Amino acid sequence: MQDLKGITFDEFVIIKQKDFSSASGDLSKLLRDIALASKVINREVNKAGLGEILGMTGARNVQGEEVQKLDEYANEQMIKYMKAGGQCCAMGSEEEEDFIIVNEEHAKDAHYVVLFDPLDGSSNIDVNASIGTIFSIYRRVSTGTPTIDDLLQAGKHQVAAGYVIYGSSTMLVYTTGNGVHGFTLDPSIGEFCLSHPNIMTPENGKIYSINEGENNNWPEYVKEYVQYCKENVKEENRPYSLRYIGSMVADLHRNLIKGGIFIYPPTTKAPKGKLRLLYECNPMAFLVEQAGGKATDATNRILDIQPTELHQRVPVFIGSKNMVEKIPTFMKSEAKA
């Protein structure tokens, strides 16, 4: 790839769109709308502490408007920019019970549906830990009024996916199935600039990320795998290090760059895990696979799962290829026991 480091996200998606002679530019426009919405969310995330002070005075700000929780605010911004952009005919949000049909006149020929978690890891807002926005884009399959089938597509049909991490710097990481590229927000010009072209995740990592407090509620194979991560086997770089923020975007972003496995397993309390297939697992699985990693529910590839409901949950084992491939070997030992 020619050296494009430093160019803006908007310029980059236009250059990439030219690689596809049939491209109309609609997807590029949609991606730019998502980037714009995330900049607006970023602005509020960055002053979250100040917002909380206002909120404590009676949940009304100085203009007399109700002070909104940041996750609600992020949800509203995503919906607003998707509607305004005109490229999205329907959307699903982790914050909305039902999917939303975009009835705007200028969106009547829109080809795309967008699914998003507007602010993932929002329990971390209060403590200034990293949080993120996750998005997933499909081409609609229906004609006429969009239907639920447009949103219930297997992850392998995604045409683009990505996340924005609001961390020590704000980054947008995305894929359209042609590699994974990361852009860092330059606040001085208000643009995401290419900082991490062609991200590839190491095949082996040294990090495992899981909520260890739930250990007693895990199936045996997860307990055994985590025990394996802790064993002293110098030649295999074990023990691995445990790193867990409790914010999927932040945990996965770190593991994507450094190598590692992120696990949200089935538990006795949540037999299907906690994370949502459509808003969290599919987009992350698309990104991680594009970066050379893997994502499964322990047996099935995440991207092959046919969703049956909008808010479906799924266990997830995602990250460095060799680490994820190790999981089924522990399941076999469980079956033997």
The contact set with ligand AHM (CB under 6 A) reads: 94, 117, 120-122, 211, 246-248, 274
**Contact of residue 247 among Mg ion, ligand AHM, none (CB under 5-8 Å per partner type):** ligand AHM
- Strand-pair category, 112-120 with 160-166: unpaired
Shortest separation between residue 50's beta carbon and ligand AHM, angstroms: 22
- Strand-pair category, 170-175 with 160-166: antiparallel
Shortest separation between residue 118's beta carbon and Mg ion, angstroms: 9
User: Looking up tokens 């408007």, which residue turns up?
Assistant: 65
**Contact of residue 274 among ligand AHM, Mg ion, none (CB under 5-8 Å per partner type):** ligand AHM
**Contact of residue 122 among Mg ion, ligand AHM, none (CB under 5-8 Å per partner type):** ligand AHM
**List of residues 6+ apart from 29 with CB closer than 8 A:** 85, 86, 87
Calculate the alpha carbon distances from 333 to 183, 225, 327, 337 in Å: 42, 11, 10, 6
**Contact of residue 130 among Mg ion, ligand AHM, none (CB under 5-8 Å per partner type):** none
Q: Which residues pair with 90 in a beta bridge?
A: 101, 113
Q: Which is nearer to ligand AHM, 112 or 163 (CB)?
A: 163
Angle between helices 26-45 and 48-56 (to 10 degrees): 60
Cα 246 vs. chain centroid, distance in angstroms? 14
Judged by the rule CB under 5 A, the positions of this chain that interact with Mg ion are 117, 120
Shortest separation between residue 295's beta carbon and ligand AHM, angstroms: 14
**Calpha distance 284→161 (Å, rounded):** 8
Q: Which is nearer to ligand AHM, 158 or 247 (CB)?
A: 247
Q: Which is nearer to ligand AHM, 149 or 212 (CB)?
A: 212
Q: Which is nearer to ligand AHM, 248 or 261 (CB)?
A: 248
**List of residues 6+ apart from 194 with CB closer than 8 A:** 4, 5, 6, 7, 8, 9, 12, 181, 182, 183
Q: Which is nearer to ligand AHM, 122 or 153 (CB)?
A: 122
**Calpha distance 48→50 (Å, rounded):** 5
Residue 128: count other Cβ atoms within 10 Å of its Cβ.
10
By the 8 A CB rule, do 8 and 39 touch? no
Say if residue 127 is exposed, middle or buried (CB neighbours under 10 Å; 0-12, 13-18, 19+): exposed
Shortest separation between residue 337's beta carbon and ligand AHM, angstroms: 27
Q: Which is nearer to ligand AHM, 122 or 170 (CB)?
A: 122
Q: Which amino acid makes up residue 239?
A: P
**Contact of residue 312 among ligand AHM, Mg ion, none (CB under 5-8 Å per partner type):** none
Q: Which is nearer to ligand AHM, 127 or 337 (CB)?
A: 127
Q: Which is nearer to ligand AHM, 248 or 323 (CB)?
A: 248
Nearest residue to Mg ion, scored by beta-carbon proximity: 120
- Whether the CA torsion 93, 94, 95, 97 is positive or negative: it is positive
Shortest separation between residue 255's beta carbon and ligand AHM, angstroms: 12
